[in-house]
Structure 1
Amino acid sequence: MSEATHQQAPTDQAQTWRDDFSRVLSPVFGSPQLDLVQGEGSYVWDASGKKYLDLLAGIAVNALGHCHPAWVKAITEQASTLGHISNFFTSPPQIALANKIHEILDLPSGSAVFFSNSGTEANEAAFKMARRAGGGGRPFIIAVEGAFHGRTMGSLALTAKEAYREPFAPGVPGVVHVPYGDVEALAAAINDNTAAVFIEPIQGEVGVRTHPQGYLKAARELTTKAGALLVLDEVQSGIARTGYWFAHQDWSIGEGITPDIITSAKGLGGGMPIGATITVGDANTKLLEAGQHGTTFGGNPIACAAALAVLETIESEGLHDHAADINDWLTPQLTAIDGIGEITGQGLLIGIELLPDAAGEIPDSKAVAARALEAGFIINPVAPGRLRLAPPLTITEEELAPFVAALPGLIAG
């Protein structure tokens, strides 16, 4: 897209959109920061024609960036052939996508994929599977402090942040939250009444943090011993985001473990709504039976065609290695900047710690993100004193260089 061809709305039209938003849409997201009208690759344009480098990619969703030709082609061709059919039937894209997921995970016989529409729905399905584990006689599910698993009621119960759960109390019963990184606390919480343990291999909402070495391995050993399921929420960390198809496949994170259930979404559809709940091996035989769960739109041909294009493009363009290579270049660039401390995460899921200034004050991450937006960079103030980057897997060093150059000034204010 040339600078001369991107869309620009008249000023009065942009104001009308903003007024209409306040008038006709739910206030749950607050006031929008931008009115975006177009995107290509790593960039988006707002209604005034201003260009932004998108370093959040829809919160790790736009894996191929905006309007990647392979993704657009897959959606367009499928929409012109078959759009929605309900789950009384299946379609070639649905079967092809499930086969591809089996392939990239090297799933054993008996494994299965359930398609839904989002990450929270993928986790809801896993929650229901956990309730059915052991014949439904295990009432308790364990989640970890700092976790974010979604906002529908089952997933919300697993989400650690009290501010998210409290307005909807009493919520779904039977969920126990254990301290982050504490193997002894996890061992003490698991018993014969435990149905499952839910863990994000990389926790995104607390600033992109991995678990201490040995934690996931211990979780696998403890759940196996207790006959409970181990569910890995890879909604944000999956689909080559960390340089691997799924973060737990990285030995430094997963240490060779095999979970019972994996949940996926976000980058899977590259911008189309799709989620997947993946049962590994014979876990599938113990869980949901015909008629015990469902979804109207899950697995529809267009979403599945888009997701298949995402997976095939990641392979053909070598985006696993690219994500790892960009991290190898970017991390030293960031750590060399005054005011930046630890860089966390893997691949293109990156957390940036902001250090106290000369007066001992930690910079306000929201203020840093606001200044970045004004300068043409979309970043996420994910937690106090922490920024999150999750750009398209296609982003280049050349595209990132202006952000790196601007970051010291953005932090200093």
Structure 2
Amino acid sequence: MSALFGNYSRRPIHLVKGQGTKVYDEAGKEYLDFTSGIAVLSLGHANPILVEAIKEQSEKLWHISNLFESPEQEQLAATLVKDTHLAHGFFCNSGAEANEAAIKLARKHTGKHTIITFENSFHGRTFGAISATGQAKVQQGFGPLVEKFIHVPFNDVKALEAVVNDEVAAIMLEVVQGEGGVNSVSEEFGEAISNICKEQGILLIIDEVQTGIARTGTRYAYEQTALKPDILTLAKGLGGGFPIGAMLGTAEMFGTFSPGTHGTTFGGNPLAVAVAQTVLNHVFEESFLGEVLKKSEYFTEQLEKILPAENFTVKGMGLLLGVNCVKAVAPLITKAEDAGLLLVGAGEEVIRLLPPLTVTYEEIDAAIAILADILND
């Protein structure tokens, strides 16, 4: 029996090495990694610039805690909020932690407790985060959840309007529901949320743990919508593989998180900050963002060429794409794996495609060839 808990359904592959988009198992078999560690490896595996950044920092300082000033954290926060309406940042270790901070900030700032979230959403595995999540399978077996979360259908304006009242502190959503099926917020729904928040004085929390840090072809996915968050959460791609999360907020939020109201031992440690700053220095460049959009357009076009229209649809933004197969995708993911392509699902009927943002057109073509074989079989 394993010394590990069995809470993961692990695939029977032991990966031992990676470079760029390619990874290798202990037998030397090569795979194209179109999971990116679930949207984490922005710059691919073992990118030399990140290796150098962590090596350089590791020889100077690993950890000091947040008892002391950190100009490096200041710089990272400034980079994240630059040219946005956001003003301040808080660093933690994961997306769930970032969302916990956002929930606490929204409630404390407004003095209200109700938060509206959406069906098929996913916000993490801590108690506050699973309470916010609109998927029963994530919540089962854990007893009473955190109160005052209301889940309504995604992209349903009337359902949202029906639950808005004076007790609502915030609306919390993903621009693209990654875990929940690669469902993008509609233009109508985005505008409705924006208007409701403005008219009712409700805060808007946008969870960009998966969609942020250039994954959709802009710095943040909300930039492609009418939405304007008061609070934004980030993780995954921010550290390029090193654990770090962040919560950003507007200037109005600053006084609410006063000393002692929230904290973390490891959040924003020197190693994580050094790597994250290096990631941002590359992926926030206009030329890099433009290339992500070009790759997305190319990938989508090639997918649509190979997919029988009556059975499959392509959805998503940037390099967060989904193929809706209208049937269970687990066997297809296994077939792709056998053929040398690593994929991940988004619900039971959607294949999620999350290559590193540095993926080449040749690697996209190679993945398309494998997908053509398994999806047309």
Which stretch shifts more, 179-188 or 316-325? 316-325
Partner of 1:204: 178
> What displacement does 1:95 show?
1.9
Q: Equivalent pairs: percent with the same residue? A: 40
Correspondent of 1:169 among 143, 153, 158? 143
Aligned to 2:220: 246
The residue aligned with 1:341 is 312
* Matched AA of 1:121: E
Equivalent residue for 2:152? Answer: 178
1:350 and 1:338, CA in 2 relative to 1: closer, same or farther beyond 3 A?
closer
Q: Does 1:214 align with 2:188?
A: yes
CA 1:396–1:80: 2 relative to 1, 3 Å: same
| Distance in 2 separating the partners of 1:32 and 1:403 | 20
1:332 correspondence with 2:310: no
**Runs of 4+ deviating beyond 4 Å:** none
- Structure 1 distance, partners of 2:102, 2:18, is 34
Q: Match of 2:20, as an amino acid?
A: G
Q: TM-score, normalised by structure 1?
A: 0.88
Q: Is the 8 A contact 2:323 2:351 kept in 1?
A: yes
CA pair 77-147 structure 1, distance change in 2 beyond 3 A: same
Whole-angstrom distance in 2 between the partners of 1:172 and 1:378:
36
Report the more deviating stretch, 29-38 or 266-275.
Answer: 29-38
Asked if the contact 1:70–1:313 (Cα under 8 Å) also holds between the matched residues in 2, the reply is no
Render the CA deviation track for 1:119-138: whole Å, top value 9, x for unaligned: 0000000011122122x2x1
SS at match of 1:367: helix
Equivalent pairs, count: 375
1:290 matched residue in structure 2: 259
Partner Cα separation in structure 1 for residue 300 and residue 30 of structure 2: 25
Aligned-partner Cα distance in 2 for 1:72–1:318 = 23
Contact 2:341 2:370 in 1 (8 A): no
CA distance in structure 2 between the partners assigned to 1:51 and 1:29 by the alignment: 23
Shift of 1:317: 8.4
Residue number among 351, 356, 360 corresponding to 1:396 in the alignment:
360
Structure 2 runs not aligned, ≥5 long = none
Q: Distance in 1 between matches of 2:9 and 2:35?
A: 18
The CA deviation string for residues 284-334 of structure 1, in whole angstroms up to 9 with x for no partner, is 33x322101110000101000000000002145832111110111111111
* Paired residues of 2:170 and 2:205 also in contact (CA < 8 A): yes
SS of 2:313's equivalent in the other structure is strand
Aligned letter for 1:346?
M
For the pair 1:266 / 2:236, whether they are aligned, the reply is: yes
Alignment correspondent of 2:73: 94
Query: Partner residue of 2:247?
Result: 277
Q: Residue 260 of structure 1 contacts residue 281 of structure 1 at CA under 8 Å; is this kept in 2?
A: no
Residue of structure 1 equivalent to 2:9 = 30
1:131 is the counterpart of 2:107 = yes
CA drift at 1:190: 1.4
Aligned to 1:121: 97
Task: Name which of structure 1's ranges 22-31 and 366-375 shifts more when overlaid on structure 2.
Answer: 22-31
Letter in 2 for 1:407: L
Letter in 1 for 2:304: T
Task: Map residues 45-56 of structure 1 onto 2, 5 A cutoff.
Answer: 45-56=24-35
Partner of 2:61: 82
2:338 to 363, 374, 393: 374
Aligned partner letter, 1:41:
G
Provide structure 1 residue ranges, at least 5 long, that are not aligned to the other structure.
1-21, 356-361
Map of 1:159 onto structure 2: 133
Q: What is the TM-score normalised by the length of structure 2?
A: 0.96
Offset, 1:381 = 2.2
Q: Which residue of 2 aligns with 1:16?
A: none
Question: How far is 1:402 from its partner?
Answer: 1.6
CA contact (8 A) 1:190 1:223 kept: no
- Distance across 2 between alignment mates of 1:195 and 1:50: 51
Q: Deviation per CA, 1:171-219, whole angstroms, max 9, x where unpaired?
A: 1111010111111211221111011110101111122111222212211
Give how far 1:106 is off: 2.6
- The amino acid of 1:353's aligned partner reads N
Larger radius of gyration: 1
Give the direction of change, closer, same or farther, for the CA distance of 1:132–1:386 in structure 2 (3 Å limit). Answer: same
